[in-house]
Amino acid sequence: MSVEIPDSSIRLREVQIHESSDHPLVLRLHETLTTCSKSIETGDFRQSERAVAELVDFLDSVYNATVSDHDDEVSMGNSVEVLEEIHRFLCSPLSGQMVVDALSFELPKAVAKFAGVSDKCLEIAESIIDHLISTCSARDMLSILCEVWSLYVLAEDEYNTVTSLTVLFVLALDSPNQMFNALAYFSPLLGGLSKVFLCIQRRHFEQIKVAVPVILNVLKAVSSESDDGDKGSVTDLIGRAINIATSIQSVIQKLEGNKNEELCALLGLFVLQIMVDTTALVSSNMTDEVLGCVPLVLQLSEFLPFCGLSYLGLITGCVVDSIIDIILGDDNDDYMSCFSFAKHGASLAVIWGHISDEVAEAAKEDLAVVMDKIRSSQTKRWQAVGMLKYILCSIDQPWELKKHAIDFLLSIMDENFSQKYNDENTDCSVYMPSLFAALQAIEKVIIYASDRVLRKNAFAALKKVLAEIPTYQRFDILKALITDTDFPSMIAILIDLLKEEMYMENRQKVTPRDGENLQVKIKAYPSSPFWSSNVLEVVELILKPPKGGPPCLPEHSDAVLSALNLYRFVLITESTGKTNYTGVLSENTLRKAYTEWLLPLRMLVTGIAAENEKDYDQFAVETVCSLNPVELVLYRCIELVEEKLKQFT
């Protein structure tokens, strides 16, 4: 039995069915509809198929005429007249269920095009789709609405599923008449889905599970393809997606048992994915534009407690993994591709709570309590850092949100609080890939952010995250960051951090406490990867790049200068302390550094200086200036090495 849905947009059902007007288009439409009815009721399949196709062609011609001259009030009026006539026909008791069922396969996509013509057309199109939902099989209407968006194309002898939204955007861009407004096109269809979910009588989870990827593909496409002029339409679509979430919530509230849990998990992932699409509305770094998204985010956040998604579980990623496991079940990973940004959305949900107290209240969370829990657990801090990378590394996220993400990171890394819970012996190997990716994301903020304060805070965050990592893994991560970074200035910063680690460690080692024997302390001090031959490998990476030849100057002057300063620091410190932890004072190591690193570099520097000595253009002056500090430190290193080599002759 079909479930009736109140037609709230317009109440054309209550209008007395009257004879068609004498408008030529309406008369032609009436003839086409009459032909459809007769052929369907008589069971003439071929004739009914042709008649329905003629109806669709007729609607397309009316639409095309309207959009070709969208300022023509007559054409706009024609669209309204035609849509109203279709609605009257469907609502008429003379239209049998067989006729309505047959038309339901084509009418949704045919009338949805008119949604972009005018608000009135959108209103009537929604009413037509609502009527079809209320009178036809909910299961059939769900399939029909989903198939409107999905098409299959044959490519390389295989069928590949492609969302038709991409095609719609291409057509909209290629057509001088802009054949349709792709954003408006989906409004009545999304609205229809929110209603059809409520009409499903059985197998709720299975049917909604099939529909959700279609919805998310639409939202993903519109959020990526839209521009500033489309914000109103994108906001409307996201609002309709939130209505779909509300419908799913209503279905859950009526169900009990295991399927309820699965639907809750599906709703949670759906909401997290929409959270990402919502940030597409923030196209600039203006604070007021970020705050303008709060109403939508607030609505989304209200679903979190219903789905059992706590801020602590979201920012550590634990709860996301749990609901993914529930949804995945026996399915393969292909289904989860539509939720590829779920963890992104999880971190965004918490950061929005950090931005707005109202959002946190909607999620029924006390963010201060959540942050204290993170600070008091080193494991949770590692997990939170790993989750924040999704925001920091995204090219689609506005800098304003990244700024708040960095602020949140600095807050949970509060030294006065978190140091009490640091454990140097804690095994963080399982978190290393995530921490490394997070540090790379922070690097990108340091490199690309135009805001000086944000760059400064990102650098502070980089140092704090590194400090959270046990010593042995910290050296490995620093070395990996240096190796994988293509920006000389960033390499210089990382090498300086490495040198700072060595300095602090050496200071702790050689500074005795009251009554403590220095030599005994030095011998008892644990070995460190920072004071080992590993550090010379880092120097060699810069002064003798793996690809061969000396480093590229003056482009890599910053990195070369930092590497030379590090080498000089190690050389002087080991000589002064009469130690050789790094092997820097060994004869073979000294000769290698002298012949393979320093002398080739000196030849390169002097050659570049000679080439630019007589030139007075801007580039030549800048080149000489950038090489001056390199040359100064280089010659000091050469002097130190030559002095040490004399001891072996």
The domain ranges of the chain are 202-362, 366-468, 470-649
Residues 6 or more apart whose CB falls under 8 angstroms from that of 422 comprise: 378, 468
Picking from 135-144, 238-247, 311-320, which range would have the lowest pLDDT averaged per residue?
135-144
Q: Is the pLDDT of residue 641 over 80?
A: yes
Residues 6 or more apart whose CB falls under 8 angstroms from that of 407 comprise: 354, 457
Q: Is the pLDDT of residue 421 over 60?
A: no
What's the pLDDT band for 77 if we cut at 50, 70, 90? confident
Q: Which amino acid is at 254?
A: K
Residue 347's CB is within 10 A of a number of other CB atoms, namely 27
The DSSP call for residue 394 is: -
What's the pLDDT band for 272 if we cut at 50, 70, 90? very high
**N-term to C-term CA, the chain:** 102
Residue range 178-206: mean pLDDT, rounded: 79
pLDDT one-digit tens code per residue, 156-185: 233 333 334 434 433 333 333 343 466 778
Q: Which amino acid is at 253?
A: Q
Rounded to whole angstroms, the Cα distance separating 361 from 304 reads 11
Element (H, E) at 162: strand 158-163
Cβ–Cβ under 8 Å, residues 327 and 265: yes
Cβ–Cβ under 8 Å, residues 252 and 270: no
Picking from 5-14, 59-68, 232-241, which range would have the lowest pLDDT averaged per residue?
5-14
Residue 421's CB is within 10 A of a number of other CB atoms, namely 14
The pLDDT value recorded for residue 287 is: 59
Residue range 235-254: mean pLDDT, rounded: 91
Q: Is the pLDDT of residue 597 over 90?
A: yes
What is the reported pTM? 0.84
Rounded to whole angstroms, the Cα distance separating 219 from 276 reads 10
The pLDDT value recorded for residue 172 is: 35
The pLDDT value recorded for residue 310 is: 96
Rounded to whole angstroms, the Cα distance separating 316 from 588 reads 49
Rounded to whole angstroms, the Cα distance separating 327 from 250 reads 19
Instruction: Show the tokens assigned to 409.
Output: 């990171």
259 or 420: which carries more pLDDT confidence?
259
